[in-house]
Structure 1
Amino acid sequence: MRRTLITLATAAILTGSLAATVQADPAGPAPGTVVRDEALTSDLWLDGTGSARRLTYWTRDSDDRPAQSTGAIFLPVGTPPPGGWPVLSWEHGTVGVGDDCAPSTAGRSERDKNYLATWLRQGYAVVATDYIGLGTPGVHAYLDGRAEAHAAIDMVRAARAVDDSLSSKWVAIGQSQGGGAAVFTASLATKYGPELDYRGAVATGPASNIVDASTLVGPSTPSIQSSHLTAYATYVMNGLKAARPDFDLDSYLTPVGKELIAAAQTQCFTPMAQRAEGVTLNQLFSRPLSDGDFAATARPIMDVPMTGYDRPLFIGQGTNDTDVPAPLTAKLVADLTANGVRPEVHIYPGLDHNATVAGSLPDSMPFVARLFG
């Protein structure tokens, strides 16, 4: 059933001079081309997994340049239905920007494992990108929405290239960073992957309006005691620098800011949030982010598109979410609506960022079932 595509040529991409030859080609390998296909160790499987693989594959960054990503394939137990397993392309939330944070090697939170296992038990194959730069060359461009969307779409292509039990029908699902990425994916999927049968997207706690929120931050901003928000900010600034190396990041930072942002290049989210304890957002910055070229540089990378939505979109938001506050999602929905997009919106009173993931399932499972119906 599984057909491995590793050849001497693709193996050489991993180990030798052929890599330089391929990357020098402006066109590069076709998106979804598999570089490496290997078994995923059983300690990284989801409950209910019948078989699992780990892939390295080619995709495109937000400037349409070739780049590599990694990711995992999880197949349900049993025999695929006629036409193959319907596919969910999972776009994960914040784990960090360093190679050691890639979920296909570092593992997943209990929240995510339980959530994805629920879908697997419903008879969906789950393919899960790590995104560009998490375990592959270069720095992960955190919240570079187009790059994240490309990696998720090309993960479907790559998975289908090595496993003919997968259907061409697929849905994007994501939470937090991945929720924002799933919205980007919803705007790009049909055009970027026209040979696939994209059906729609589910986004919970979606990162959005990051630039608008960030421009309110500066040295005189009232102190916000949240190590999570401080950690997120270090990743936002690292991600922007990765996407736009010419951005003068240091001109915005205090010595404390430079120290924490350097640490964030290798520290995954939990230890980074612990390191950020006692450091407020305003302490990172020597001048307001409303000054200079921060917004002009960041908007093309992080602002959610307002066009291209041709399939149903589900947005779920908890009212007690302090990581992605509800007003940011309310603005996203309002902006989409003003541009003729009609997402199916579900609000979860009393649920925080984490609880919304499982809390959305009674609504998102029938939504996805209809998409594949």
Structure 2
Amino acid sequence: MASDLETRAKEAFIDDHFELAVELYSQAIAINPSHAELFADRAQANIKLSNFTEAVSDANKAIELDPSISKAYLRKGTACIKLEEYQTAKAALEAGASLALGDLRFTNLIKECEERIAEENGEVPSQSLDQTSTSVAVPSSELTDKTVGITKVDLPMVSTKPTKPKYRHEFYQKPEEVVVTVFAKGVPAESVSIEFGEQILSVTIDIPGEEDAYTFQPRLFGKIVPSKCKYEVLSTKIEIRLAKAEAIQWASLEFSKESTIAQRISVSSGTQRPIYPSSKPRRVDWDKLEAQVKKEEKDEKLDGDAALNKFFRDIYKDADEDTRRAMRKSFVESNGTVLSTNWNDVGSKVVEGSPPDGMEMKKWEY
């Protein structure tokens, strides 16, 4: 069955039906997920569709299953060049060239990578095509019956106004990871597809019934470890955790030639827990936390109960053990009407209930 699907996929590819080829290869992979050739061939079909991130993912899987398959390295290198990941592309192509001696495709692509890398480093001056003159002026005195005069025409500049993204995103970082938040409220988890490359993040939100899918595919500032990255679809947002390959400070989320200098983060030996929101966990800054909750409630439009629950979760998550014990004890003993963070105050006594104004406590008899 899998071999029949593979044959049909190759025929579709030859006929330039690349989407059908990807679909057929995917069906064959579902039946035989350990066949490296299927991933390598689907990578080529994805390249034809300009699905370069998916092509890199397929090529990596093919290499993982069979490190001796040279065409997987070729396809990874080709896709990485399209993604402007020239260092990664060069490494893959050199590995593939050692398996396919004499194959000029590897030689030519490696040369292209080297030129691009040199250009990025400012070693080779780059000449933009838009600097080349596109008009020819022929003096009227030189026109003959065999000479065609070309009139210079000033073409109007076409400006494309950037469209506002459907969902807003932001990020923050720690020494070991970068956390990206996409503020997409009420999105079903099955409509979210996220993939991780060596320096690529691919986010797709495709909700049935909506015309255009949301895509966010940045080339990241630094390299990540795809196997350690993860994400979670929440009610108001999608939280993506990118594991850094190196403990460096990212100057931005996305790579740009202007912000390529990264500062290494010095991490002390031993375990160091992030200090948030206060450097003195035993003294909770209630005003600050309340203001933070109100801001998050405004930004993420949390309901009252959801905001309150998140407020208490944040306190509990970042508190020390004594504070947590105080919170658990006071909450349980007061039937949910008191929440104390001071263990010295509640540790040696039973916490009495304290109902809101206008209400009274009642003890239920069973």
TM-score (norm 1): 0.24
Higher RCO (Cα < 8 Å, 6 or more apart): 1
